[in-house]
Amino acid sequence: MQDCIYCPELHLRKHLVTEFDYIFASSILLNTKSTMPDANDIFTINIKVPLTDDEATKEGALLVLKEIKPTWKRELISFKAFTVGITNKILCATYSPANGTTHKERLLFRIYGNNTDKIIDRNKEFNNWLYLASHGCAAQIYARFSGGIVSGFLPGNTLTVDNVRNDTIVANTCKSLSRLHKLKPNTGDEAKPTLFIKIRQFLANFSAHYESKRKQERYDKFFKQREISFLHDLHRLRDIIQRRQSKVVFCHNDLLIHNIIHDDKTDSISFIDYEYADYNYQDFDIANHFCEYAGVEDFNYSRCPDKEYKREWITKYLIYYLERKPTKDEVDNLLDGNNIFEAAAHFFWALWALVQSQISTIDFDYLERVNTVQINNYRFSVVAGLVLQIN
């Protein structure tokens, strides 16, 4: 399995998963509400599991397992890394009883990348995960350790650029997303959209000055020479979006195709990776997902949906979300806002990539992939959105 940073339009995002049988714990499942432990019931273990050294990672994981699974014998435990640690490392621990009569037990270790807490609220992620688990929407969390989480293990295959358009998969994706959007986690704050809060957080953690001369030259070439002002673009986007008065719901906010899991045995769809899950504009979650049709490993924007496909997709989504057939106006409302929220997604992940190019300690050249594709897509979408507003 490969783990690569890519962004929807820069392809500088996290968790580029290529393994066919990728299995991850934090999944949105289509089942009923279950009884799960709250935060006070979760083991909190002061053990650091290293991120970059594979053997040290396994040794740290074994120390955690000794606390939460004391009956597991070390010689019967095996490990498999699902990522190479570009942002986070996902490590699967499998316990195989010697008698062969007992089912194998599996747990997943999610080890956070260095400095990611500067742009990700890990406590909010943890509490959201617990809430989703209590509603049958995520796997059980077994423990928190220093810099990560241990959770249950759920099967599924990541979507591809081909099957993301499969009629059954589309229907189940719409069903799962509508269910997520109807949940109401108590975050302790008013349900405000996170989009511009997060963008400002990215900007606060980014400087246009690089210590590396090579990075500085590339940044200047892509952004300064084109006189791109992030604050100006932020205000422009915010003004357009606020005029739309889009509905605010609990969103995933990162629905790339490899964050969507299909279980062919139950024909259900699950979502993974809750790092950015929060209240946000309903339109954003949908538009961001459409951006991801371009693909991950071999991206091609000709794969992105056309207007008629989007209309059909949105109609299916609204049938589940509203629990009735939507009106033409309801469909048109989401469809009309799509361009401007695609622009917001381009802008959001471009800033994310730039922040990562400065704060990440992982050996990965974020700026190597930076080009004008994202900016051009962003600005085209803004212009298209403005035209729609005027017309």
DSSP string covering 150-205, please? Answer: EE-----EE--TTGGG-HHHHHHHHHHHHHHHT-----SS----SHHHHHHHHHHT
Length of the chain, in residues? 391
Q: pLDDT value at position 7? A: 35
- pLDDT value at 156 more than 80: yes
Lowest mean pLDDT among 32-36, 96-100, 124-128, 174-178: 32-36
Q: How do the domains of the chain map onto residue ranges?
A: 39-155, 160-390
- pLDDT value at 60 more than 90: yes
- pLDDT value at 189 more than 80: no
Query: How does pLDDT run across 82-136, given as a tens digit for each residue?
Result: 764 456 788 999 999 876 656 789 999 999 988 888 899 999 999 998 988 888 7
Q: Which fold has domain 39-155?
A: Phosphorylase Kinase; domain 1 (3.30.200)
Tell me what percent of the residues of the chain surpass a pLDDT of 70: 78
SS3 content of the chain, % helix, strand, coil (to 5): 45, 15, 40
Q: pLDDT value at position 387? A: 41
Q: Which residue has the higher pLDDT, 151 or 100?
A: 151
Lowest mean pLDDT among 201-210, 288-297, 326-335, 364-373: 364-373
- pLDDT value at 177 more than 90: yes
Note the Cα 241 to chain centre separation in Å: 22
Q: Which residue has the higher pLDDT, 306 or 5?
A: 306
Whether domain 160-390 has CATH 3.90.1200.10 = yes
Burial class (CB in 10 A: 0-12, 13-18, 19+), 38: exposed
Q: pLDDT value at position 161? A: 93
Q: pLDDT value at position 305? A: 94
Question: What's the mean pLDDT when you consider all of the chain?
Answer: 81
How does strand 43-48 pair with strand 141-146? parallel
In this structure, what token pair is assigned to residue 38?
């709250």
- pLDDT value at 152 more than 50: yes
SS3 call for 146:
strand
SS3 call for 278:
strand
Rounded to an integer, what distance in angstroms lies between the CA atom of residue 141 and that of residue 128?
11
Closest C-alpha to 31, from 133, 106, 129, 182 = 133
Lowest mean pLDDT among 14-28, 80-94, 221-235: 14-28
Cα-based distances in Å from 313 to 175, 302, 306:
11, 18, 11
Rounded to an integer, what distance in angstroms lies between the CA atom of residue 194 and that of residue 278?
7
